[in-house]
Structure 1
């Protein structure tokens, strides 16, 4: 099946719309009428447009792991309240603000290419328990994980340069923030006061 046929199939069978942009890259533009609970993105896709699936209550999981998605737009999955699982592309570099706010994500597996976690990206995910921030991330913006009441463990594999003051506000279940021993003091300096005492270094090797 060629790409044009695949695009038409996803529109007719899944209710998901794709378009080519000016650079002839495949963009997922509208999934708000998605009829498939467990949806797999077309492999040639490079971008999921802002608000693409916003408020779609049908979708339960989305798999973009075989795709080339490098960008997920602002509010792309905003208030997809039944969305429990997302499998990211290894090409992913940026996730827009409020992209997954008010979903039901239970875990996150970020690719190493990810650079930025934007404002409110994963706020109000009430089932999220653990977050591992990969090596490539340099910025975690304000309210990125705000009001995730079950979030108890954060692991910062990255020497993160910026963490917004309220990135983890109202995450009252946090017990520990793991960091590399060489980054311990610096990370403490950029975390809010109530999280400094929860920072623990990974064991020193060698």
Structure 2
């Protein structure tokens, strides 16, 4: 059979008879040639653009970069086409501009678009949905940033080395901070939005003025070196959903005096709190929270107190490496976190354990079986959670209170 050749070309992509690039794809008896128009290079005398059939990308100044000064106003259109993107390195090293006015037509700010600029304030409109790597890196005069509702992720080194940046407002639901996103910034306090689930590696490293961090209510992961070298960091409010503390996360936080981890934390990795020489106490409420090596808490002194549950891994760790240990809770049947109450918190923890076991195909720990396998069937699952919730409901509404052990005997 004779092969059929199909040339796919949109007429709208043909620009003034310009040259075109194509990629030929062979599939069985069909050869498809996809044609894409080469953008038209255009200048309005002040700015340069790449023009496409339905949009334009601003690529930089038509003159010398040092001729740009004051407020840089990005045009909303070029030759009738909406400007939707500020291109890669478009205004890198613009050292005489004080701020940028970005129109609502823009949805993307490219890599290093404003790297090493002299802007002092920045407002990103709601229309912008994507920031690329290094977009505002090394803007050493930048002090205040407002991010619109369209931004859901802060990319790698987006604001790194903005050492005067002290204030940032998030209008949208940010989900993660990329690697070194705010490295060497000037924040004194920082409130992580509740929508953020992950802080990338070195995201806040060497923020030398940072004193206080509120990690919000949704954060689950802190990657390697996230706060390494934050030498003034003294106060940390951890997220109740935090799953662990990764390698060197708080290494060399020499002003940190007290750490209270939530019960959700299941592991503390290598060098996590190494060289935290002022640390007086660390509270590890999860009875099965593992501590990967002796350097994880390597900055502690003989006066440092490790606080945790009786029979916990933390207690074994403290004994092994010569730290003082203080019992803050004693787990009991149905109450693994040892807070003295059997309620929805315990039911939630059971479901979390069940999810982990089902997802990772692991087995419950001996402590989990002892305290949370409430019907003693050799498993920790939703059935156990339902027993805990029904007991909680019974004791909350009944005039006669009974123990959980007695409740399970009568069930």
TM-score w.r.t. structure 1 length? 0.78
Q: Residues 182, 150 of structure 1: CA spacing in aligned structure 2 closer, same or farther, 3 A cutoff?
A: same
> 2:225 pairs with 120, 124, 143, which one?
143
- Residue 123 of structure 2 is matched in structure 1 by 40
Aligned to 2:170: 88
Contact 1:151/1:171, CA 8 A, preserved across alignment: yes
Q: 2 CA distance for matches of 1:160 and 1:135?
A: 9
Confirm or deny that 1:185 pairs with 2:309. no
- Does 2:212 align with 1:130? yes
In 1, Cα distance between the equivalents of 2:119 and 2:224? 33
Aligned to 1:76: 158
Paired with 2:150 and 2:215, the residues of 1 have a C-alpha distance of 21
Q: Which residue of 2 aligns with 1:27?
A: 108
Alpha-carbon shift at residue 14 of structure 1 (Å):
3.3
Separation in structure 1 between the aligned mates of residue 258 and residue 84 of structure 2, nearest angstrom: 42
Query: Is the alpha carbon distance of 1:80 and 1:205 closer, same or farther for their aligned partners in structure 2, counting shifts above 3 Å?
Result: farther
* CA distance, structure 2, for counterparts of residue 146 and residue 198 of structure 1: 21
Residues 180 and 50 (structure 1), Cα distance of their counterparts in 2 relative to 1, 3 Å cut: same
The runs of at least 4 aligned residues of structure 1 exceeding 6 Å deviation read 15-18, 198-201
Structure 1 gaps of 5+ residues are 1-6
Distance in 1 separating the partners of 2:290 and 2:169: 32
- CA gap of 1:115–1:85, structure 2 versus 1, over 3 A, is same
Q: 1:154 aligns with which of 226, 236, 249?
A: 236
Q: Contact 1:94/1:114 (CA < 8 Å) preserved in 2?
A: yes
Contact preservation (8 Å) 1:89, 1:111? no
Provide the rounded CA distance (Å) in 2 between the counterparts of 1:71 and 1:171.
26
Deviation at 1:161, TM superposition (A): 1.2
Deviation (angstroms), 1:39: 1.2
8 Å Cα contact 2:263-2:286 kept in structure 1: no
Structure 2: gaps of 5 or more residues? 1-56, 62-67, 75-82, 88-104, 266-283, 309-327, 329-338, 342-411
Question: How many angstroms apart in 2 are the aligned matches of 1:44 and 1:127?
Answer: 32
Rg: which structure is higher? 2
1:55 aligns with 2:138: yes
Q: CA RMSD in A?
A: 3.4
Deviations 1:69-105 (A, max 9, x none): 1011101111112212222234100111011111111
- Give the Cα–Cα distance (whole angstroms) in 2 for the partners of residues 190 and 125 of structure 1: 26
**Per-residue CA distance 1:3-60 (angstroms, 9 max, x = gap):** xxxx98xx98337796189xx9812222226554121111222222110011111311
Structure 2 residue matching 1:108: 3-state secondary structure: strand
Structure 1 counterpart of 2:353: none
Does the Cα contact within 8 Å between 2:240 and 2:264 map onto a contact in 1?
no
In structure 1, what is the equivalent of residue 191 of structure 2?
109
Does structure 1 residue 14 correspond to structure 2 residue 72? yes
Contact 2:116 2:138 (8 Å CA) reproduced: no
Q: C-alpha distance in 2, partners of 1:190/1:18?
A: 49
Counterpart residue number, 1:4: none
- Distance change in 2, residues 1:82/1:73 (3 Å): same
> What TM-score do the two structures reach when normalised by structure 2?
0.41
